[in-house]
Amino acid sequence: MEIRNIANIAHVDHGKTTLIDAILKATGAIPTRVETAERIMDSNDQERERGITIFSKNASVNYKGTKINIVDTPGHADFGSEVERVLRSVDAALLLVDAFEGPMPQTRFVLGKALEIGLKILVVINKIDRPMARPDAVLDMTLDLFDNLGASEEQLDFPYIFTIARDGVAVRSLDDPHEDITPLLDFIMEHVKPAAADAGGIFRMQPATLAYDNYVGRIAVGRVYEGRARGNTPVYVIGTDGARRVGKITRIYSFEGLDRVEAKEAVAGDIVAIAGIPDIYVGETITNSEDAEPLPAIRVDPPTVAMSFLVNNSPFAGREGKFVTSRHILARLIKETESNVGLKIESDEKMDSFRVMGRGEMCLAVLIEQMRREGYELQVSRPEVIMREINGKMYEPIERGAITVPDELSGRVIEAINIRQGRIEDMKKAGDRAVLEFEIPTRGLLGFRAAIMTMTRGEGVLYHSFDHYGPKRGAIKKRQVGSMISGFTGVATAFSLNNLQERGPLFIGPGTEVYEGMIVGEHNKGADLTVTPIKGKQLTNMRASGADDAIKLTPPVQMTLEAAIEYIQDDEYAEITPSNIRIRKILTSKSDRKRQNRREAEELQD
């Protein structure tokens, strides 16, 4: 049986996973009589809640006697390392582009990686049924992007097709009748060559992603480039440094539809999963010959953002979590690196603080949220950017961004980008919206999403992806407001919060337990303010005019995990438990904070 291997790449929310749903249903991989949720490939709870793909996944379909392996990839920039790895295991890529938005920052990133490897690119203009769709103009914009990325003459002559993934429709021409997705499958068969299948040579396989199973341990998923192998076979593993070690394949799995099923053997050209090598890593070569040459190493861009994960030492520590010690936290982080190669971990000498590095805020937030749901209790610091020193100068990660905002608010957004050391590169009109394309340091993006949502009254849509390292730019002024800090431990009262809400938005409501040093709201005047949220109304038997006025509290700001991470400053922690997300000062005592401020002031004078 012939095998064709393709990846599905695009910017976030351009319809990748929905398109795979349509392919799976059309080929019978999902029975039509079985009701399934939308975006069936997004099987993780957080993927469904956030509406994005976080982990790359494999599926396969049979069409006209050919097995088509499909790899669904994340569209968000923070999970770009997943895309970089899987592209090496396929022969072609479907590049989806929204028929209205056109190429976006992540489109540029994933296309650049695919062109660099030399993959065949099949362009799919999706969502042609949108009211303001402009498929012909978007096709021209895509061609310009190919040209800007240095595509060869052959790559510039890319094939293209139009689709409505939600309805399961594909057409070669905009004038064709809208029937089904079959034209896309024929399009793939026509332009993607069968995988090279030298089954008689030396077995060589390279893992592109890792998974973990509680029964068989670490699982390596990748492409078999040559030869064949069976289960319970001894093999050699060639590391990225050239070192060779002995291992054993205990089980082999192939992909049928959405399922991973046990197979008798792995053959050249197929994408399979193997178990039995506990220390296998992405990019290594698995072979049955001690003298085999290693496959070219898979290079993954390094992390750009770091956060400290610490044992929770707040006054409420240990009350809500199941796993609270440094040993628990470290074990969970190590387990995460078993499958997530985009993460790096460093620990201090005392082993009570762990520096976790990833590709962005959301990458780390997804990990923290997963740990929280599993019963872990911890506290995390403000994200910081990972700098590089090149030729004696400091370089920082620079990202390419795009933001869609109402036209009348574009001036305020441009000003905010400039304050954060960003540079506007292009501005386009799309109906009553303005699309701003810009370049900005990663430092400037920390906390920027929340600011944009406030500035545009929830109508701004921000996308960004890592572009390059550049010389460090000037200082960036972040939060313009201070914090209201509880000076006492107890239960917040409506009477006290009624007086405090005049000073700024509150993060808590009446009846919330607070402790000294916990941040209960924003202080609009800019400086931190210690307050008493637990004070009750003094009760007497004397009546006074106006004393019994009804208390009207504004609903508190719901502090989500991402909002908490974006809000905290260098002297604050976000306290994460299975039940609550709180913000606190590192030094909970007011007197300790005063001494610290005095010490810092003296150091500045010296």
Residue 35 has pLDDT above 60, yes or no: no
Q: At residue 95, what is the residue type?
A: L
Q: Is the pLDDT of residue 417 over 60?
A: yes
Instruction: Give me the sign of the Cα torsion angle 173, 177, 179, 182.
Output: negative
Instruction: Name the amino acid, one letter, at 64.
Output: K
Domains and CATH numbers, the chain: 2-191 (3.40.50.300), 204-287 (2.40.30.10), 388-471 (3.30.70.240)
* Mean pLDDT, rounded, for 483-507: 91
Residue 346: pLDDT over 60 = yes
- Average pLDDT on 43-61 reads 75
Q: CA 544 to CA 547: how far, in whole Å?
A: 5
Closest to 437 measured CA to CA, from 409, 463, 460: 463
155, two tokens: 């790559």
User: Per mean pLDDT, which range of 134-148, 244-258, 361-375, 468-482 is the poorest?
Assistant: 468-482
pTM: 0.82
Q: In the predicted model, is pLDDT for residue 424 greater than 70?
A: yes
Q: How confident is the model at residue 33 (pLDDT cuts 50, 70, 90)?
A: very low
The mean-pLDDT minimum among 101-110, 137-146, 280-289, 391-400 falls in: 101-110
Quick check: 36 pLDDT over 60? Answer: no
Does residue 140 surpass a pLDDT of 90? yes
CA distance to 54, 83, 332, 390, 448, per residue, from 585 (Å): 32, 38, 26, 35, 22
Q: What pLDDT is stored for residue 517 in this prediction?
A: 93
What tokens does 206 get?
Answer: 């390279």
State mean pLDDT over 61-88: 81
Comparing C-alpha atoms, which of 445, 395, 382, 442 is closest to residue 416? 445
Tell me which residue of 404, 415, 416, 423 sits closest to 462, measured CA to CA. Answer: 404
Residue 413 in contact with residue 448, Cβ under 8 Å? no
Residues 287-293: contacts with CB within 8 Å, 24+ apart? 287/202, 287/203, 287/204, 287/205, 287/235, 287/236, 287/238, 288/202, 288/203, 288/227, 288/229, 288/233, 288/234, 288/235, 288/236, 289/202, 289/203, 289/236, 290/236, 290/244, 292/202, 292/204, 292/236, 292/238
Helix, strand, or coil (residue 281) = coil
Q: What is the pLDDT of residue 96?
A: 92
Q: What is the mean pLDDT of residues 254-282?
A: 89
- Per DSSP bridges, beta strands 393-406 and 384-385 are unpaired
Lowest mean pLDDT among 60-69, 255-264, 360-369, 456-465: 456-465
Is the pLDDT assigned to residue 198 strictly greater than 90?
no
Residue 34 has pLDDT above 50, yes or no: no
pLDDT, tens only, 540-597: 666 555 555 678 888 898 888 888 998 888 889 999 999 999 999 999 998 888 898 8
List the structure tokens of 64.
């006209």
Which of the 8 DSSP states describes residue 409? G
d(CA 476, CA 342): 27
Answer yes or no: is pLDDT of 373 > 90.
yes
Q: What is the mean pLDDT of the chain?
A: 86
Where does the pLDDT of residue 85 fall: very low under 50, low under 70, confident under 90, or very high at 90 and above? confident
State mean pLDDT over 34-58: 66
The phi and psi torsions of 326 (rounded to 5 degrees) equal -65, -30
Fill in the amino acid letter for 270: D
Residue 207 tokens, joined: 């893992």
Task: Give which of 289, 300, 373 is closest to 337, Cα–Cα.
Answer: 300
Interior/surface letters 547-581, b for 16+ CB within 10 angstroms, e for the rest:
eeeeeeeeebeebebbbbbbbbbebbbbbbbeeeb
Per-residue CA distances from 393 to 387, 443, 472 (Å)? 10, 17, 8
Percent of the chain surpassing pLDDT 90: 32
Number of Cβ atoms within 10 Å of the Cβ of 544 = 7
d(CA 58, CA 571): 43
